[in-house]
Chain A
Amino acid sequence: MAKRVILSDENCDGHAEAIFHALERLGFDALLKLELKTFEQVGLKQATADEQVWRFCQENYYLLLTGNRTAKAGTDSLELTIRHLVTAISLPVLTIGDLKRVLRDRKYCERCAVRLAEIVIDLEERHLGVARLYLS
């Protein structure tokens, strides 16, 4: 299996680190060859628009790990972007259902880590073309 890059959205770098720490604790990191990257590391600017982030991830085959943002469905929203642009081979956006719980509840964080691992291992067979997947 090739190395799989998870790109943490800029508002959830700490959460992504916590989930990766749980993956390591559970022993999944070595098996799945996961690499965590931040916006800064891949050259994305702060506050980059949703559509640009989504396209960037699709082009580079990165899995975007993001929070469950509360917002109107404006024309530049991630939700509208993925619904309009997703194809049968698009990568899903991985969504943390509850950002706060990842940092406060170790069990919840581990559930997110296990789910992320399951998604990665079954990605090609089950999850391509699904616009969004919740981690927990």
Chain B
Amino acid sequence: MGYRNYHILETEQGPMISHSRVSVYDVMLAHDEGDDLFTICVVYGLTPVQTQIALEYIEQHREQLAQDLKEILPKKAERERYYRAIAAEREKIPVKMTPQRAAFYALLEKNRLLRGDNGETGDSE
């Protein structure tokens, strides 16, 4: 793989990291939560150089980015509430019990019994 000229793209969505679909805002939020460079790389599928360039950009533009986030985060939360409410309504639509659906629910129940109330295994990080 040749050298890629990674850089920050100024777009209508705000600054984005080139050769990716990741916003600088997400890197800033992760960084401010205490994530180190390599954690950010793994979580967002970025190379160390892409992440480093984003962190440098954040250092230079922190005030503006923080200002942007004050507007973006409430809208993001509102959007999430909106879609979750629609999903909750859709869950009320009755569905026909097919053999496949019956098998699915049986497996779901089996997992619940084996692994706990939510069908999850007992261990986390």
Contacts and interface: CB of A to CB of B under 8 A. Distances in A.
A77 B75 CA distance: 14
Interface bin, chain B: 35 or more
Contacts of B12: 72, 74-77
A84 interface: no
Contact of B68 (A47, A72, A127, A131): A72
Nearest to B9: A47
A99 B121 contact: no
Contacts of A134: 80, 83-84, 87
A9 B21 contact: yes
A46 B20 CA distance: 6
Interface in B29-88: 29-30, 35, 42-46, 68-69, 71-73, 75-76, 79-80, 83-84, 86-87
Given A11-B20, A11-B22, A126-B90, A133 B42 contact: no
Interface residues of A, number: 53
Given A70-B73, A99-B43, A121 B90 contact: no
Nearest to A104: B125
B25 A107 contact: no
Nearest to B94: A125
A77 B125 contact: no
A117 B104 contact: yes
Given A31-B103, A32-B104, A72-B14, 5 more contacts: A11-B45, A13-B45, A106-B121, A111-B120, A126-B95
Interface of A: 1, 9-14, 25-28, 31-32, 46-48, 50, 67-77, 79, 95, 97, 99-100, 103-108, 110-111, 114, 117, 121-122, 125-127, 130-134
Q: Which 3 A-B pairs have the closest CB atoms?
A: A74-B12, A71-B13, A74-B13
